[in-house]
Chain A
Amino acid sequence: MTSQYGLVDVTLRDAHQCLWSTRMTTPMMTPILSAIDQVGYAYINILGGAVFDVQVRFLRENPWERVGLLCSQLRTPCDGLTRGQSLYTFELFPDDVVALNSKVLARRGLKVLTVYDALNDMRNIESSVRSAHEAGMQVNAMLVYALSPVHDDAYFAQRTRALLALKADFISIKDPTGMLTVKRARTLFPAVVAAAAGTPVQLHTHCQSAEAPDVHTVAMRCGIRYGHTAVQPLANGASLPAAEDVDDRARALGVHTGIHRSALAEVSAYFALLAEREGKPRGRPQPCDPALFEHQVPGGMISNLKSQLAAMQMGHRLPEILEETARVRRDLGYPILVSPFAQYIVTQAVLNVVQGERYKTIPDEVRRYALGGYGRLAAEPSAEFMARARIRPHDVCTAVPAAALQPALPRLRQQLGASASDEHLLLAAFYDRSFIDALQPLPTPPRLSTTPLMELLRFLESRTDLQRASVRYAGAEITLSG
C-alpha cells in the first residue's frame, strides 16, 4: 500500500482532447492557473500530440507560447507528452529534431517530458529520453496497455525493465481506451511495480469501461505512486476519472494525495462554467459497452469517427466498422489502438467495410507498419493479410526506424536562414509555411485571474437569448442589455 498518491492533472490537455475535440484555448486556461496551483497536484500535464497539432491547425496559437506561459505561471511542475520519435505528428523525425524539441521545451520551463511509443518499441523513445535528460528535464516513460494474447503481464514486466535501462525517472501505465479492469490490475500492477525496482510508477487510464476509479484503488494498494485525473466537468466517459473520485478513494484507504478539496471544487466549477459558456459537453460516466473490449478504439477517436461518418452519410455503419476494427487488429499482430496506429487500423477497417472486400486497398501507412517501418510489432501479422499485402518475411525490417533518417536541421536552417529561432525551425519541420504564417500572438497581457462574478458576467454576455440581465452584488448593480 502506498501512503502517498500524487495526482497528475490532465484537464488542460488529455481531458479536452477527449471531450472537446481539443478545442480549449490558452485564454480559457490562463485565468484559472493560480487557482489550479492551489489544488495540490503533483504535476500538471499541459502538452500532448493532438494539442500541439490542433493549436497550430485550428486555434492558430503558437504551441511554444502556451507552454511558456503556463510553465511561467504555474508553480506546480508541468509535463508534456510526445509520441516518441513522432513527436506531435504521425511521421517519424530524425534524432536532431527530437533533441531540439527537448531543448526548446526545457527552455520554455517544462519540467517533465512524457513519452510513449505506440508499439511499445522502446528503441523509439531512446533519443527523446536522452535529449530530455540532457536538457535538464525528467522523463516519464509510458507503457501502452493493450488487451491481447501477447500482451500478458510478462510482456509488460519486460518492457518495464527496458525503460529502467533507459533511466526513466517515472514509468507510467497508459491505458487510452479504458480497458484496464480491476481483475487485470491486480496482477499487472504488482508485476510492473516489481519490475520497476523502485522507480515511481504512474497510472493513466481512461473511463470507457467505468472501472477506472476502482483501478486507481488497486493502484494505491499495489504501490503505484501517481494517478492521472481531470476535474469533474471534464472527466469520465472517454476522458480520465475525476480527481474528486480518485481523491475520495484515497481518503477511504487512508492514502494522502495532497489535494485541497475546496480549491479543487472551485477549479471544477470554473471549468463547468466554461463548458456552459462555450457550449461544450461535460463529461458523464458512461456504462461499459462490452464491445469496447473487442474493438478497443480509443475514446478520442470515436467521436471524430462518428462525425466523419455522419458527413459521409454513413453514421449507421459505425458498429460494423468497429467490429471490423477488431478483426484488422488481430490480422495485424495486435497493434495497440493508440495514435497513430488507431487511425491506420480504423481507416483500414472503414476501407474494408466500404469496399466490401477485405484488404482490397491497403494504405501505405498500414503497409509500412507491417514492414516494421514504425518499429517492432508485438506479434506477427496474419498470413492472410501478408499475402494480400504481398509482404514476404525477408521484406520486414528490424532496424530502428529513426536510424535511417537523415538529420533535418541543417536543411531547415539553410531554408529559413541563420536568424530563425529554434522554435521556428521546429514548426517548419512539422508544418507547411502557410500554417506558421497564420499563427496569431496570444492576447497581451494575458488574463491571469478571474472572479466568480466576472465568470457569471461573461456567461451572461455569451447568451444571445438574453434581452436584459441585472446583477446585484456587494452593493453594486451591473446591467447588461442585449
Chain B
Amino acid sequence: MSTASPNAGPLSFQDVLQLVELIQSSSRFSELKLRSSGLEIELRRAGPATPSVAPASAPAPSPAGMPEQGTAPAPQPPAAEKQAQVLHTPPGAHVVTAPMMGTVYRAPEPGAAPYVQPGQHVEAGQQVCIIEVMKLMNAVHAEHAGVVSQVLVADGQVVDFGQPLVVISPV
C-alpha cells in the first residue's frame, strides 16, 4: 500500500544511488518496481519477460500443498495482444467459444494428438479442447456436428470468456 511509508524522508542522492544500484543489479529482469523515501519507480525493459538465462536445473514442481497445474511443457503462449480479428465464417457455421476465462489446451496431455484438427469431422457433443482454470480442467464440446474449418487458438493460449476457439462448418 502506498500510504505513508515509514522512511518517507526527503529524497537524497543516497536514496537515488541505492535505487540506481538495484536497477543495475537487476538488469536481467524486464520489469521492476522500487520504492524508497516517498519515491516510487516502475521500469519496463525492452525484450521478453523471462530473462535469457536458461533454467539451471529446473526444479520439479511442488507435489504437495495447493494443487499445482500439470507439468505440461507446452510452448510459450503467443503475445497476449488480442487481435481485433474479423471472423469470416462460412454460412451456417457455428463457433465454439470459451465458456470461461482460462488457458486452452488442444490435447488431452502434452505430446498427445490434439482433440481436433482443421478438416476433421466432429460429432455433436464431441470434445474440441480443454480450458484450464485454477488447476481444474474443463472439457469444451462442439454443439453441432460438422467439419472443423478453423482453429483460432494455440495450445497454451490464455483466452477470455466468450472468445472464439473453433469454427465448425456444417457438413
User: Does a CB–CB distance below 8 Å link A and B in the complex?
Assistant: yes
Q: Give me the interface of A with B, judged by CB distance under 8 Å.
A: 265-270, 272-273, 276, 451-453, 455-456, 459-460, 463, 465-474, 482
CA distance A273 to B46 in the complex (A): 23
- Is A467 a contact of B17 with CB atoms below 8 Å? no
**Closest beta carbon of chain B to A446's beta carbon, Å:** 19
- Is A266 a contact of B12 with CB atoms below 8 Å? yes
Pick from A460, A463, A473: contact of B40, CB below 8 A.
A473
- Is A468 a contact of B44 with CB atoms below 8 Å? yes
- Is B11 a contact of A453 with CB atoms below 8 Å? yes
B7 within 8 A of A: no
- Is A272 a contact of B17 with CB atoms below 8 Å? yes
Of all chain B residues, which has the CB nearest A276? B20
- Is B41 a contact of A452 with CB atoms below 8 Å? no
Residues of A within 8 A of B38 (CB): 473-474
Pick from B11, B12, B23, B24: contact of A473, CB below 8 A.
B11
Of all chain A residues, which has the CB nearest B40? A472
- Is B39 a contact of A471 with CB atoms below 8 Å? yes
| A-contact bits for B10-42, CB 8 A (1 contact / 0 none) | 011111110111011001000000000011111
Pick from B14, B16, B46: contact of A453, CB below 8 A.
B16
Given contacts A456-B19, A459-B20, contact A471 B13 (CB under 8 A): no
Of all chain A residues, which has the CB nearest B10? A452
B135 within 8 A of A: no
Residues of B within 8 A of A265 (CB): 12-14
| A-contact bits for B59-93, CB 8 A (1 contact / 0 none) | 00000000000000000000000000000000000
Considering the complex of A and B, which 3 residue pairs feature the smallest CB-CB distances, nearest first?
A: A269-B13, A269-B17, A269-B14
- Is A469 a contact of B12 with CB atoms below 8 Å? no
Residues of A within 8 A of B21 (CB): 276
- Is A266 a contact of B14 with CB atoms below 8 Å? yes
Residues of A within 8 A of B40 (CB): 471-473
- Is A466 a contact of B17 with CB atoms below 8 Å? no
**Closest beta carbon of chain A to B19's beta carbon, Å:** 7
Of all chain B residues, which has the CB nearest A270? B13
Residues of A within 8 A of B17 (CB): 269, 272-273, 276
Given contacts A452-B11, A473-B11, contact A466 B43 (CB under 8 A): yes
CA distance A451 to B12 in the complex (A): 8
Pick from A269, A466, A467: contact of B16, CB below 8 A.
A269
- Is B39 a contact of A455 with CB atoms below 8 Å? no
- Is B39 a contact of A273 with CB atoms below 8 Å? no
Residues of B within 8 A of A482 (CB): 46
CA distance A273 to B22 in the complex (A): 12
**Closest beta carbon of chain A to B162's beta carbon, Å:** 31
Residues of B within 8 A of A276 (CB): 17, 20-21, 24
- Is B16 a contact of A469 with CB atoms below 8 Å? no
Given contacts A276-B21, A453-B11, contact A470 B42 (CB under 8 A): yes
**Closest beta carbon of chain A to B147's beta carbon, Å:** 44
**Closest beta carbon of chain B to A269's beta carbon, Å:** 3
Known: A453-B39, A456-B16. 8 other contacts (CB 8 A): A265-B13, A273-B16, A273-B20, A453-B16, A456-B39, A456-B41, A470-B42, A482-B46
Pick from B13, B14, B24, B43: contact of A469, CB below 8 A.
B43
**Closest beta carbon of chain A to B114's beta carbon, Å:** 36
CA distance A369 to B15 in the complex (A): 52
CA distance A469 to B44 in the complex (A): 6
Pick from A451, A467, A470: contact of B46, CB below 8 A.
A467
- Is B16 a contact of A455 with CB atoms below 8 Å? yes
- Is A455 a contact of B13 with CB atoms below 8 Å? yes
